[in-house]
Chain A
Amino acid sequence: SYVLTQPPSVSVAPGQTARITCGGNNVGRNNVHWYQQKPGQAPVLVVYDDSDRPSGIPERLSGSKSGNTATLTISRVEAGDEADYYCQVWDSSSDQDVFGTGTKVTVL
């Protein structure tokens, strides 16, 4: 089945930049979406269709894609960015949605 691989953890100092990757076959051919999940809370959409942001999401969070790897970049990291982040794509061949393995962002 389709697998989206993310690094388990990323650590970053306040004010620095965090980059979270999401890799998998066919990522390049599918729209990638990103969610933020804080402990005890439901996921929140932060980037959709590779690089678009829903209203209310700060510009510090941005998405990009190159080949079969998508990247969520968090600039000027703040303590409030500490959370788990998941990528997601729809696999057209199986008509199933798939989430990435998840990345825990720790703000030092």
Chain B
Amino acid sequence: EVQLVESGGGLVQPGGSLRLSCAASGFSFSSYWMYWVRQAPGKGLVWVSRINTDGSSASYADSVKGRFTISRDNAKNTLYLQMNSLRAEDTAMYYCARKADDSNYGDYWGQGTLVTVSS
């Protein structure tokens, strides 16, 4: 059974940093591209970032480019999102998702981890 479990969320002050993790199991993690998607309270889904299988290529939404870094450790079956220079508008539930191997959609999603940026 495919499982994605996010962790690392919490309360952080504006300007601070946080690293999210997504532990994957039930599939060959190293064979799949992965996503991060976020959702501010009461708002819609927003794509954040995508990374390829070996971590050599990544894409970012304009709103996080230069502040967030996606990475992965295939030996640990874990996806990461390093978030720096956090702003109030980064407050959201952060989901990791597995990108389907034949198209650009998320076929499995985690339950999310909540990040709150506030003083």
- Report which A residues bind B (CB closer than 8 A): 1, 31, 33, 35, 37, 41-45, 48-49, 54, 84, 86, 88-90, 95-102
Contact = CB atoms under 8 A, between A and B. Distances in A.
13 contacts: A42-B109, A42-B110, A42-B111, A44-B109, A45-B105, A45-B107, A48-B107, A54-B107, A86-B44, A86-B45, A89-B104, A96-B59, A99-B46
B110 A99 contact: no
A48 B105 contact: yes
Nearest to A44: B109
Contacts of B105: 31, 33, 45, 48-49, 88
Nearest to B109: A42
B103 interface: yes
A86 B45 CA distance: 8
A56 to B, nearest CB: 12
A88 B95 CA distance: 15
B35 A97 contact: yes
Interface of B: 35, 37, 44-47, 50, 59-62, 95, 97, 100, 103-107, 109-112
Contacts of B46: 99
A1 B46 CA distance: 13
A97 to B, nearest CB: 4
Contacts of B45: 35, 37, 43, 86, 88, 99, 102
Contacts of B100: 48
A42 B112 contact: yes
A98 B37 CA distance: 10
A94 B107 CA distance: 22
A23 B95 CA distance: 25
A97 B109 contact: no
Interface pairs A-B: 10 shortest CB-CB: A90-B104, A33-B105, A102-B44, A97-B47, A42-B109, A99-B45, A95-B59, A48-B105, A86-B45, A42-B111
